[in-house]
Structure 1
């Protein structure tokens, strides 16, 4: 979790070529949780796919249309259904005639602190991709890689021809992902991270932050960070006995932007639920937690 919020000066609404098959358009929704904003990717050559169309914003939809440049759109793919990723899928489908493909619909009441993490209740998929299923176009193949954790319906998409992985919010280029129960699941997240370590992707294109050109090293580092946080929680519980999550956050997240404390508390809760499942922590009375 990065701090303070200081987004780079990247051009909003401008198509930037990243590789022979990949270009990027930045949406106008920067925030402490989205960094510079959601990055929509246009993949392909003579015909394209659009990944994570982003918020339903007229200027952003116009920017995506410019990036498409009149080429046929074979598919619109969403990594997951948080509101900064999927709402533009349906209007873009209407404009291009392309089907919405990818993650399953998921609507869940989220009592977490991030408004941008609320689920897109209007999302509908014309085809849900299972793990390992593909979408193909001229000269490109996108394969679904199931990566639950940030959300239970999260998918990454592997571009086979370039050994590239579009990682959505599972791995971001500027910060660790928020894991917010009840749908966010730390146990599933760590399994998904281990799966990525075992892959041979050469580059990640996250929905937020810069491309990652040494991805396995980054993922191992993120997993190590989570293990360190887990250790901090267990040591805190051992010292203080029955403890409240805000007290843990105040000690463990010193120097972090206070606007992120609510999200930090959700990640601490996700760790505690994981630790409880492993017999290392347990809920106590009045919302407190203790070492098991």
Structure 2
């Protein structure tokens, strides 16, 4: 199948499955890449925890923060499905900064991430990204705002109403009545921007080698492996990644490293057009699309 036919087929498969997808796969050794709408900006959801981890790890390396320092964290007390870790705690906890970094990145704990944002605010994270030459990702706020969506205002049996609003209340310019989905107010990035970040973490770049290695290790130990991991993890390949989920958004970025030395950065950002919170088929479809792009690029 030609490259053009493959891209058309993948785009149609995603749409038939109720997904609008923005994807990019890049060979980290040659720079060759294949993508579908890779420059469209979408709200980042929990993907923002990767630049947060990068900024935090870099400040620890510089001596601006002490990884062993204990931080008092208030409980999130969130009871709706989805959030993890401290976000669901009922009581305050005292946790070392290094461990908050693990919880935020590898467990996708929003409360842990907000504790890190208290130390390195969104504007400072953005400044560090700019300093490192990574200008395609916009950081505007922490994670608490992502627990204040219509989803938290409806009962579980009304979840479809929140998703209907997410699907239908956007504008052609990617504004949105739900401000967490409005690209002028949310943390945002394109598939290309996230792939650029992955490349900077996995290959020589302005990021210090110690900082990059730490973030790679956190992503290698990501516990949320239901989305792309089944198609990229094996005895002959490792998958390091971060997921992002918010209302009808389902994202994952990661790097697959094969035993033969080849490595590919992969970013899959999607918007579901189906008003349902639980859609395992969407996760499967995302993985299949990414795998087809990866396999075609690797054969080339």
**Higher relative contact order, chain-length normalized (CA < 8 Å, sep 6+):** 2
Query: Whose helix proportion is higher, 1 or 2?
Result: 2
